[in-house]
Amino acid sequence: MDIELQTKTNGNHGATYLSKEQVTAGNGDGAAYRITDGGEEDGLLSAQTSGCNGGTMASDHAVETQINLEQIHTSQETSAVCRIKGGLNEVIFWRVKLWMAIIILFFFIFAVIIISMLLCSVIHEDKDEIFDPSTFQVPQCFNGSFQLPNLVFTEELFTMSSNESQTLAGELREKLADLYRSSPALGRYFSKADIYAFRNQSLLADYQLTFLMPAEHQDQLRNITLSREMVYNVFRQFLYDQEPDESGQMYIDPVSLKMFLKH
């Protein structure tokens, strides 16, 4: 029996290995068997397996690193929160903790602001708001007329002593008084309003306004505050601001307003 050594090549990887083939001499029908030296092929397979496992190991390592970083970050946050809580719960004196002192401080500042505002509003006095009405003795009068388009003129309105005339005149006096008493500039000087006549089919009402002022400032007041222009403009603005539906029969036509200074 002869043994022949042959070199074989792996078709897939190009690796070579030794093959022992035993051939039985004779008539050529002897059985042949082959012994393969698998050392190099085993090494190649081992290297390939190692390469695949290396990628898996690298991926596992990255996941583990990420988990460790998250744990460290969470631990740091927890530690910071604990330090803040510990600082706020620190006793400053007696049984007062830091968070209690902060709340007390905020309440104290808020109370100081409120008290300061109240004191300023009480202590501050506008000199213009301080006046003695008894010194207002010099009269300033204005006459004029206006139209009441929502009212129908009747015979009773010719006589001012009639019940209808007295009722209508009283309502108009109250309306004019409320108008001028609510005026910031003229309210303190207003004395009274009178309605002394109703006339014409379009129902015109004749009125008189009386203002009182102190003697020491009468020249300045006559020319500025109690001038015809000021008193007239306040009246006219009020008429333009009124709502016809809300005023009803007491609606005054702004265009019909007339006013004259009584000398």
CATH number attached to the domain at 135-262: 3.30.70.960
pLDDT tens-place string over residues 182-224 = 999 999 999 999 999 999 878 999 999 999 999 888 999 999 9
The domains of the chain are located at: 2-37, 89-123, 135-262
pLDDT tens-place string over residues 74-102 = 766 777 777 787 777 787 777 788 888 88
Average pLDDT over residues 35-44: 44
Three-class SS of residue 134?
Answer: helix
Percentage with pLDDT > 70 across the chain: 69
Write out the two tokens for 16. Answer: 């070579």
Q: Can you list the alpha helix ranges (DSSP code H) found in the chain?
A: 39-88, 98-123, 163-181, 218-223, 228-241, 244-247
Sheet arrangement for strand 2-9: 2-9, 16-23, 33-36
Write out the two tokens for 246. Answer: 């809300």
The model carries a pTM of: 0.54
Q: How far apart are CA 108 and CA 255, in angstroms?
A: 59
- The residues, ordered by sequence, that sit 6+ positions from 236 with a Cβ below 8 Å of its Cβ are 254, 257
Do the Cβ atoms of 91 and 97 come closer than 8 Å? yes
Residue 149 phi, psi (nearest 5): -70, -20
Average pLDDT over residues 171-185: 95
